[in-house]
């Protein structure tokens, strides 16, 4: 009880919602969501994502936030408090942010590099072939800019829950939303005629994004779309990585969890949707349908700079606004990832925030340098179980996102659905007197549907279900 009284907490529901939404709105939303939407038939992916967000995503989000508030602990100790035999889930959940933060800071450094390029009027250089590859294979600059990004993240976490995370979220998130809306509206107004004389505009790209493409669709194809949408939810909602348990532990006992969870869902879904509106119409207008085949880093750091360069002088301004927005999104997410680890260290070893944050900063620093060197001195190429070619960053991403996160989510579903029973979470959600409107849906999802879907996703991720 003594530890619980000393625990920091958000000053109100707004601070919690903005911080949690800031965690959810990250690089996964900005580059992964638009690519998957384009790959999986536009509107078909959007429908699948929306349905899963309101069912599957809602279930995992509710469980983790409720566990955090109930135990007032970070994931490393929260699971053991619920059931000592299931404490290993806390270990797995804690490993995820430890693995993610180093390479997330490296990618954050990439964003800083492009932001500086557009800030100094060198956007045209960023659009040249080989610019991105030349940068990431460098031995000095990627490490320096990774350090800059890590310093910004660490500074916010060092400041604490209220003065750091909550205060920064109240400033950054409104700015992020304004930039997202502004760029999205601009993306719909652009028009371009290519060398072959074909004219396309932003509204044409919006149709590609919104209208389901059902041509040649098979049952296997539908299932692939569902699994892609479900995998994206891990990124979008920051579940199965200990973050929402940590943030939930900072929520006061009199807060309306149902309302807060609904607001986080709405916030995240709107930003994910607008990320597609920002990117897909612009890339389609200047590069056509084939331009949308780019994924991951190549979409954000190769294709989009070419699009901005094609816009003329205003492209430098739009490019700066875009990468400023991406930096804001990356910062809020990286802060939540680091806070999850710092909170675990504080709860487990009973040390101060300063010491815990310093330890995690050092871990992320060493890991980040290793990831940067993975593109030059430590460069190698291996094939992962899912068939993808990989080096250090890809391996860390695969272990955390394809292996550990589904395992944590499956274990959480079994623990809550079958060991402790769903009523434990329902009681926590309803203890302030608020009505749990999707209670029956929650029970069905946590006990049956979610664990089955998660198991299929895990087996596919590790290459066992290659046929899907």
**Ranges of each domain in the chain:** 2-7+19-384
Average pLDDT over residues 410-429: 97
CA distances from 256 to 66, 108, 252, 428 (A): 11, 34, 9, 10
Centre a 10 Å sphere on the Cβ of residue 381 and count the other Cβ atoms it contains: 8
Q: Is the pLDDT of residue 455 over 90?
A: yes
In percent, the amount of the chain with pLDDT more than 90 equals 66
Q: Is the pLDDT of residue 322 over 80?
A: yes
Q: Torsion-angle region of residue 63: left (phi > 0), alpha (psi -120 to 50) or beta? A: alpha
Residue 468 pLDDT:
56
Residue 35 pLDDT:
79
Rounded to 10°, the helix 423-430/58-71 angle is: 70
Predicted confidence band of residue 227 (pLDDT cuts 50, 70, 90): confident
Nearest to 408 by CA among 58, 87, 81: 87
Nearest to 53 by CA among 261, 333, 329: 261
Residues 27-63 pLDDT 10s: 877 878 887 888 887 788 999 999 999 999 999 999 9
Q: Is the pLDDT of residue 419 over 50?
A: yes
Average pLDDT, the chain: 90
Residue 41 pLDDT:
76
Q: Is the pLDDT of residue 386 over 80?
A: no
Phi, psi of 87 (to 5 degrees): -65, -25
The DSSP output letter for 162 is I
Q: Is the pLDDT of residue 234 over 90?
A: no
Q: Is the pLDDT of residue 394 over 60?
A: yes
Q: Is the pLDDT of residue 299 over 90?
A: no
Average pLDDT over residues 269-286: 88
Residue 272 pLDDT:
84
Q: Please give the structure tokens belonging to residue 63.
A: 């469980």
Residues 249-262 pLDDT 10s: 999 999 999 999 99
Q: Using an 8 Å Cβ cutoff, are 442 and 366 in contact?
A: no
Residue 362 pLDDT:
98
Residue 214 pLDDT:
79
Residue 296 pLDDT:
56
Average pLDDT over residues 149-161: 96
Residue 298 pLDDT:
75
Residue 217 pLDDT:
76
Q: Is the pLDDT of residue 328 over 90?
A: yes
Average pLDDT over residues 10-34: 83
Q: H or E segment at 103? A: helix 87-119
From CA 2, how far away is CA 335, in angstroms rounded?
27
Lowest mean pLDDT among 130-139, 291-300, 309-318, 418-427: 291-300
Q: Using an 8 Å Cβ cutoff, are 63 and 365 in contact?
A: no
Lowest mean pLDDT among 283-287, 342-346, 407-411: 283-287
Q: Please give the structure tokens belonging to residue 263.
A: 């607001």
Residue 224 pLDDT:
85
Q: Is the pLDDT of residue 373 over 90?
A: yes
pTM: 0.94
Rounded to 10°, the helix 58-71/75-82 angle is: 80
Residues 166-203 pLDDT 10s: 999 999 999 999 999 999 999 999 999 888 888 999 99
How far, rounded to the nearest angstrom, does the alpha carbon of residue 179 sit from its chain's CA centroid? 18
Residue 202 pLDDT:
93
Which CATH code, of 1.10.4160.10, 3.30.70.20, 2.60.120.200, 1.20.1290.10, is assigned to 2-7+19-384?
1.10.4160.10
DSSP line for 283-304 = HHHHHHHHHTT--HHHIIIIIH
Q: Which residue has the higher pLDDT, 21 or 184?
A: 184
Q: Is the pLDDT of residue 276 over 90?
A: no
In percent, the amount of the chain with pLDDT more than 70 equals 97
Residue 4 pLDDT:
40
Predicted confidence band of residue 3 (pLDDT cuts 50, 70, 90): very low
Lowest mean pLDDT among 140-144, 434-438, 461-465: 461-465
Residue 139 pLDDT:
94
SS3 for 42-87, per residue? CHHHHHHHHHHHHHHHHHHHHHHHHHHHHHCCCHHHHHHHHCHHHH
Average pLDDT over residues 370-399: 92
């Amino acid at each position: 009880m003594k530890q619980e009284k000393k625990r920091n907490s958000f000053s109100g529901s707004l601070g919690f919602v903005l911080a949690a939404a800031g965690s959810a709105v990250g690089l996964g939303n900005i580059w992964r969501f638009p690519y998957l939407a384009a790959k999986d038939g536009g509107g078909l992916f959007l429908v699948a994502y929306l349905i899963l967000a309101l069912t599957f995503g809602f279930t995992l989000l509710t469980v983790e936030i409720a566990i955090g508030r109930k135990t007032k602990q970070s994931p490393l100790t929260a699971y053991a408090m619920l059931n000592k035999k299931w404490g290993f889930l806390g270990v797995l959940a804690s490993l995820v942010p430890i693995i993610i933060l180093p390479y997330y800071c490296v990618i954050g450094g990439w964003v800083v590099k492009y932001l500086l390029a557009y800030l100094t009027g060198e956007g045209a250089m960023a659009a040249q072939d080989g610019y991105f590859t030349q940068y990431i294979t460098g031995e000095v600059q990627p490490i320096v800019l990774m350090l800059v990004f890590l310093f910004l993240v660490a500074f916010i976490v060092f400041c604490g829950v209220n003065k750091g995370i909550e205060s920064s979220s109240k400033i950054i998130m409104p700015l992020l939303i304004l930039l997202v809306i502004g760029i999205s509206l601009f993306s719909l107004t652009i028009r371009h005629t290519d060398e072959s004389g074909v004219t396309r505009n932003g509204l044409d790209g919006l149709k590609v994004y919104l209208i389901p493409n059902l041509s040649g669709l098979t049952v296997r194809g539908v299932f692939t779309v569902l699994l892609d949408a479900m995998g994206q939810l891990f990124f979008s909602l920051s579940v199965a990585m200990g973050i929402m348990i940590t943030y939930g532990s900072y929520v006061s006992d009199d807060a309306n969890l149902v309302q807060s969870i609904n607001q986080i869902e709405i916030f995240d879904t709107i930003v994910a949707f607008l990320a597609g509106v920002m990117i897909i119409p612009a890339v389609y207008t200047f590069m056509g349908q084939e331009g949308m085949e780019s994924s991951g880093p190549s979409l954000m750091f190769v294709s989009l700079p070419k699009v901005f360069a094609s816009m003329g002088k205003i492209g430098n301004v739009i490019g700066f606004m875009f990468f400023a927005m991406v930096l804001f999104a990356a910062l809020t997410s990286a802060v939540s990832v680091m806070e999850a680890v710092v909170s675990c260290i504080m709860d487990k070893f009973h040390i101060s925030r300063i010491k815990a944050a310093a330890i995690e900063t050092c871990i992320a620093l060493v890991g980040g340098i290793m990831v940067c060197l993975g593109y030059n001195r430590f460069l190698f190429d291996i094939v992962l179980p899912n068939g993808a070619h990989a080096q250090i960053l890809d391996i860390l991403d695969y272990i955390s996102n394809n292996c550990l996160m589904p395992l944590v989510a499956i274990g959480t579903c079994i623990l809550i659905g079958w060991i402790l029973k769903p009523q434990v979470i329902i009681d926590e959600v309803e203890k302030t007197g608020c009505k749990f409107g999707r209670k029956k849906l929650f029970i069905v999802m946590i006990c049956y549907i979610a664990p089955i879907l998660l198991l299929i996703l895990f087996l596919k991720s590790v290459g066992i279900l290659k046929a899907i």
